[in-house]
Structure 1
Amino acid sequence: MADIKDILNDDHEELNEDDLMQFLQTPQDMDFAFSNDAQEGLQSFKSNDKMQQYVLQLNQQLQQQLHQRKQHKEKRKIRNISGPLMAMVVILILCTLAYVIIHLYFRNK
């Protein structure tokens, strides 16, 4: 099989077991490569203190980003409510004003 990604195509009438095994082992190879990269990155730190500082910095940045997203969502909720609320208030004022004008018009006739 030329390309592992072609395993799901309908062009192949029959797949042999070797191709299937190679396809099944590929995600494990990707996970293994990811863990190797992670180990290399961790080994690049000279001391454990620098790594701890970096972890604390990342955690602080993550907390700040989450807090900002939460605030943004809250602002958006309030803004979404204020539009329809203002429209309702304007409609009620217009209805009340129309009632008063019609009532005064028929009263003076």
Structure 2
Amino acid sequence: MSKRMISSVASGVTALLIIVIICAWSPWISKAYASDRTINQFKTEWKDTADGCGFNCEGCGVRSSERKLFGWKVTINYACGQLAENQKPIIKTKTYYVSFIGTE
């Protein structure tokens, strides 16, 4: 192999490595975007259910957001069903992953 070919291969490998590192970090996916995306996805899942689940309770909503390789892990708290006035909701937890391309 010629020096020129080795140099081209090394440049290609370096560029590929840089792209993978940037995608793993995914700086264009912010904590706020990941949280909003998760809330919207959850609402979409329950939109056609009359007595479905939601965030209209104390302690409900985004519980935590954590940066992971190639995206964010977002955990939410929610409650389901209608409750009597004096009844406390049963709070459930669900975790979503928002990828570096912005999908759930």
When normalised by structure 1's length, the TM-score is 0.33
User: Hey, which of these two has a bigger chunk of strand by percent?
Assistant: 2
When normalised by structure 2's length, the TM-score is 0.34
Higher relative contact order (CA 8 A, sep 6+): 2
